[in-house]
A and B are shown apart, each in its own frame.
Chain A
Protein backbone atom coordinates (compact mmCIF):
# COMPACT_ATOMS: atom_id res chain seq x y z
CA UNK A 1 0.00 0.00 0.00
CA UNK A 2 1.38 3.38 -0.98
CA UNK A 3 2.27 5.68 1.82
CA UNK A 4 3.06 9.31 2.53
CA UNK A 5 4.06 9.77 6.14
CA UNK A 6 4.19 13.02 8.05
CA UNK A 7 6.23 12.94 11.21
CA UNK A 8 3.77 14.66 13.54
CA UNK A 9 -0.01 14.72 13.69
CA UNK A 10 -0.19 17.67 16.11
CA UNK A 11 2.41 20.28 17.00
CA UNK A 12 2.29 23.23 19.36
CA UNK A 13 5.06 25.81 19.06
CA UNK A 14 5.79 29.28 20.36
CA UNK A 15 6.14 32.42 18.25
CA UNK A 16 9.69 32.78 16.97
CA UNK A 17 10.58 29.09 17.21
CA UNK A 18 12.08 27.25 14.25
CA UNK A 19 9.77 24.45 13.15
CA UNK A 20 10.55 21.42 11.02
CA UNK A 21 7.81 19.38 9.35
CA UNK A 22 8.99 16.13 7.82
CA UNK A 23 7.41 14.11 5.04
CA UNK A 24 8.50 10.74 3.66
CA UNK A 25 7.02 8.81 0.72
CA UNK A 26 7.72 5.23 -0.25
CA UNK A 27 6.48 5.33 -3.85
CA UNK A 28 9.67 6.57 -5.52
CA UNK A 29 7.75 9.64 -6.66
CA UNK A 30 9.61 12.50 -8.31
CA UNK A 31 7.23 15.27 -7.22
CA UNK A 32 6.55 16.31 -3.67
CA UNK A 33 4.40 19.15 -2.39
CA UNK A 34 3.65 21.08 0.78
CA UNK A 35 0.19 22.63 1.16
CA UNK A 36 -1.50 24.44 3.97
CA UNK A 37 -5.22 24.11 4.46
CA UNK A 38 -7.33 26.80 6.06
CA UNK A 39 -11.14 26.92 6.36
CA UNK A 40 -12.73 28.54 3.34
CA UNK A 41 -9.41 28.84 1.49
CA UNK A 42 -8.86 25.24 0.51
CA UNK A 43 -5.38 23.90 -0.10
CA UNK A 44 -2.75 26.47 -0.98
CA UNK A 45 0.62 25.43 -2.33
CA UNK A 46 3.64 26.56 -0.32
CA UNK A 47 6.51 24.84 -2.15
CA UNK A 48 7.01 21.88 -4.39
CA UNK A 49 9.95 19.85 -5.60
CA UNK A 50 10.27 17.81 -8.78
CA UNK A 51 13.66 16.30 -8.05
CA UNK A 52 16.29 15.96 -5.37
CA UNK A 53 17.73 19.35 -4.39
CA UNK A 54 15.21 21.11 -6.65
CA UNK A 55 12.49 23.35 -5.27
CA UNK A 56 9.93 25.74 -6.65
CA UNK A 57 7.88 28.37 -4.87
CA UNK A 58 4.16 27.87 -4.78
CA UNK A 59 1.52 30.47 -4.14
CA UNK A 60 2.40 31.35 -0.54
CA UNK A 61 6.13 30.68 0.10
CA UNK A 62 6.73 33.65 2.40
CA UNK A 63 7.92 32.61 5.85
CA UNK A 64 8.74 29.06 4.70
CA UNK A 65 11.66 27.17 3.23
CA UNK A 66 12.07 23.56 2.13
CA UNK A 67 14.74 20.93 1.80
CA UNK A 68 14.89 17.86 -0.45
CA UNK A 69 18.20 16.10 0.11
CA UNK A 70 16.82 12.63 -0.68
CA UNK A 71 14.14 11.62 -3.13
CA UNK A 72 11.84 10.17 -0.51
CA UNK A 73 12.00 13.05 1.97
CA UNK A 74 10.70 16.61 1.72
CA UNK A 75 10.99 18.92 4.70
CA UNK A 76 9.13 22.14 5.36
CA UNK A 77 10.85 24.68 7.60
CA UNK A 78 9.31 27.63 9.38
CA UNK A 79 12.32 29.79 10.16
CA UNK A 80 10.54 31.86 12.82
CA UNK A 81 7.02 30.67 13.48
CA UNK A 82 4.25 33.24 13.68
CA UNK A 83 0.65 32.94 14.81
CA UNK A 84 -0.63 33.34 11.24
CA UNK A 85 1.13 30.10 10.38
CA UNK A 86 -1.27 28.18 12.60
CA UNK A 87 -2.81 25.79 10.08
CA UNK A 88 -3.15 22.23 8.83
CA UNK A 89 -0.10 21.29 6.74
CA UNK A 90 -0.47 18.56 4.15
CA UNK A 91 2.36 16.87 2.30
CA UNK A 92 1.68 15.11 -1.01
CA UNK A 93 3.57 13.31 -3.74
CA UNK A 94 2.99 12.32 -7.33
CA UNK A 95 4.85 10.44 -10.01
CA UNK A 96 5.48 11.24 -13.65
CA UNK A 97 4.15 9.48 -16.67
CA UNK A 98 1.00 7.45 -16.99
CA UNK A 99 -2.46 8.18 -15.59
CA UNK A 100 -1.99 6.26 -12.37
CA UNK A 101 1.09 8.25 -11.53
CA UNK A 102 -0.50 11.61 -11.98
CA UNK A 103 -2.65 11.46 -8.89
CA UNK A 104 -1.64 13.19 -5.72
CA UNK A 105 -1.17 11.02 -2.66
CA UNK A 106 -1.48 12.80 0.65
CA UNK A 107 -0.05 12.37 4.09
CA UNK A 108 -2.31 12.53 7.13
CA UNK A 109 -1.52 16.15 7.83
CA UNK A 110 0.10 18.06 10.68
CA UNK A 111 -2.07 20.44 12.67
CA UNK A 112 0.33 23.17 13.78
CA UNK A 113 -0.62 25.67 16.44
CA UNK A 114 1.67 28.64 17.02
CA UNK A 115 1.05 30.39 20.33
Chain B
Protein backbone atom coordinates (compact mmCIF):
# COMPACT_ATOMS: atom_id res chain seq x y z
CA UNK B 1 0.00 0.00 0.00
CA UNK B 2 1.33 3.42 -0.96
CA UNK B 3 2.20 5.54 2.05
CA UNK B 4 3.51 9.01 2.84
CA UNK B 5 4.73 9.85 6.34
CA UNK B 6 5.49 13.31 7.65
CA UNK B 7 7.31 14.39 10.77
CA UNK B 8 6.93 16.08 13.08
CA UNK B 9 3.13 16.21 13.10
CA UNK B 10 3.25 19.55 14.88
CA UNK B 11 5.90 22.08 15.68
CA UNK B 12 5.98 25.33 17.63
CA UNK B 13 8.84 27.77 17.04
CA UNK B 14 9.56 31.46 17.51
CA UNK B 15 10.00 34.01 14.78
CA UNK B 16 13.47 33.90 13.32
CA UNK B 17 13.97 30.19 13.93
CA UNK B 18 14.82 27.77 11.12
CA UNK B 19 12.67 24.67 10.71
CA UNK B 20 13.03 21.43 8.78
CA UNK B 21 9.99 19.40 7.88
CA UNK B 22 10.36 15.79 6.82
CA UNK B 23 8.48 13.64 4.34
CA UNK B 24 9.20 9.97 3.60
CA UNK B 25 7.33 7.79 1.17
CA UNK B 26 6.76 4.28 -0.09
CA UNK B 27 4.99 4.12 -3.42
CA UNK B 28 4.95 1.60 -6.22
CA UNK B 29 5.55 4.10 -9.03
CA UNK B 30 7.05 7.48 -8.25
CA UNK B 31 6.59 10.44 -10.61
CA UNK B 32 7.00 13.48 -8.38
CA UNK B 33 6.77 14.76 -4.82
CA UNK B 34 4.87 17.93 -4.06
CA UNK B 35 4.76 20.28 -1.09
CA UNK B 36 1.70 22.38 -0.28
CA UNK B 37 1.00 25.05 2.32
CA UNK B 38 -2.49 25.11 3.80
CA UNK B 39 -3.64 28.06 5.86
CA UNK B 40 -7.33 28.51 6.46
CA UNK B 41 -8.57 27.23 3.17
CA UNK B 42 -7.22 25.73 -0.04
CA UNK B 43 -3.74 24.16 -0.03
CA UNK B 44 -1.44 26.23 -2.18
CA UNK B 45 1.38 24.76 -4.20
CA UNK B 46 4.97 25.28 -3.04
CA UNK B 47 7.28 22.88 -4.86
CA UNK B 48 7.33 19.93 -7.21
CA UNK B 49 10.40 17.68 -7.02
CA UNK B 50 11.22 15.00 -9.53
CA UNK B 51 15.01 14.59 -9.40
CA UNK B 52 17.31 13.77 -6.51
CA UNK B 53 19.73 16.30 -5.15
CA UNK B 54 18.40 19.38 -6.93
CA UNK B 55 17.31 22.02 -4.46
CA UNK B 56 14.23 24.05 -5.24
CA UNK B 57 14.15 27.47 -3.63
CA UNK B 58 11.56 30.19 -3.21
CA UNK B 59 12.50 33.02 -0.88
CA UNK B 60 13.04 31.60 2.59
CA UNK B 61 11.68 28.18 1.61
CA UNK B 62 13.70 25.42 0.02
CA UNK B 63 13.22 21.74 -0.60
CA UNK B 64 15.21 18.77 -1.78
CA UNK B 65 14.47 15.19 -2.72
CA UNK B 66 16.43 11.98 -2.13
CA UNK B 67 15.00 9.25 -4.35
CA UNK B 68 17.42 6.65 -3.06
CA UNK B 69 16.41 7.08 0.58
CA UNK B 70 12.83 7.98 -0.38
CA UNK B 71 12.44 11.23 1.47
CA UNK B 72 12.24 14.96 1.07
CA UNK B 73 12.79 17.89 3.40
CA UNK B 74 11.26 21.34 3.40
CA UNK B 75 13.35 24.06 5.07
CA UNK B 76 12.06 27.41 6.19
CA UNK B 77 14.65 29.93 7.37
CA UNK B 78 14.00 33.06 9.46
CA UNK B 79 10.42 31.98 10.12
CA UNK B 80 7.64 34.56 10.35
CA UNK B 81 4.17 34.34 11.89
CA UNK B 82 2.79 34.18 8.35
CA UNK B 83 4.51 30.82 7.92
CA UNK B 84 2.08 29.30 10.43
CA UNK B 85 0.15 26.68 8.46
CA UNK B 86 -0.21 22.99 7.78
CA UNK B 87 2.45 21.77 5.36
CA UNK B 88 1.35 18.87 3.22
CA UNK B 89 3.56 16.45 1.35
CA UNK B 90 2.10 14.44 -1.52
CA UNK B 91 3.47 11.91 -3.97
CA UNK B 92 2.23 11.49 -7.52
CA UNK B 93 2.31 7.74 -8.10
CA UNK B 94 1.42 7.70 -11.81
CA UNK B 95 -1.93 6.25 -10.88
CA UNK B 96 -3.77 9.46 -11.67
CA UNK B 97 -3.72 9.88 -7.94
CA UNK B 98 -1.76 11.77 -5.29
CA UNK B 99 -0.99 10.14 -1.96
CA UNK B 100 -0.87 12.62 0.90
CA UNK B 101 0.87 12.54 4.24
CA UNK B 102 -0.90 13.66 7.43
CA UNK B 103 0.68 17.10 7.30
CA UNK B 104 2.87 19.04 9.71
CA UNK B 105 1.17 21.82 11.66
CA UNK B 106 3.66 24.65 12.12
CA UNK B 107 2.99 27.43 14.59
CA UNK B 108 5.34 30.42 14.59
CA UNK B 109 5.06 32.58 17.70
CA UNK B 110 5.99 36.27 17.68
The verdict on A43 contacting B41 (CB below 8 Å), with A48-B96, A58-B97, A103-B48 known, is no
Chain B 87-101 interface mask (CB, 8 Å, partner A; 1/0): 010101000111011
Q: Would you call the interface of chain B mostly helix, strand, loop, or mixed?
A: strand
Range class of the B interface residue count: 20 to 34
A64 at the interface (CB under 8 A from B): no
Interface pair A41/B102, CB less than 8 Å apart: yes
B89 to chain A, nearest CB (A): 9
A31 at the interface (CB under 8 A from B): yes
Q: In the docked arrangement, what's the CA distance between A50 and B36, Å?
A: 22
The verdict on A40 contacting B9 (CB below 8 Å), with A50-B96, A103-B34, A104-B90 known, is yes
Interface pair A90/B9, CB less than 8 Å apart: no
A106 at the interface (CB under 8 A from B): yes
Interface pair B96/A40, CB less than 8 Å apart: no
Interface pair A106/B42, CB less than 8 Å apart: yes
A42 at the interface (CB under 8 A from B): yes
Interface pair A42/B100, CB less than 8 Å apart: yes
B14 at the interface (CB under 8 A from A): no
Pick from B34, B42, B90, B102: contact of A4, CB below 8 A.
B42
B55 to chain A, nearest CB (A): 17
A40 to chain B, nearest CB (A): 6
CB within 8 Å of B: which of A44-101?
A: 44-45, 48, 50, 56, 58, 90, 94, 99
Interface pair A90/B42, CB less than 8 Å apart: yes
Interface pair A107/B48, CB less than 8 Å apart: no
Chain A 30-43 interface mask (CB, 8 Å, partner B; 1/0): 01010100001111
Q: Given contacts A40-B102, A41-B102, A106-B36, could you give 11 more A-B pairs where the C-beta distance is less than 8 Å?
A: A33-B97, A33-B98, A42-B4, A48-B97, A58-B97, A94-B98, A99-B48, A102-B92, A103-B34, A104-B90, A104-B98
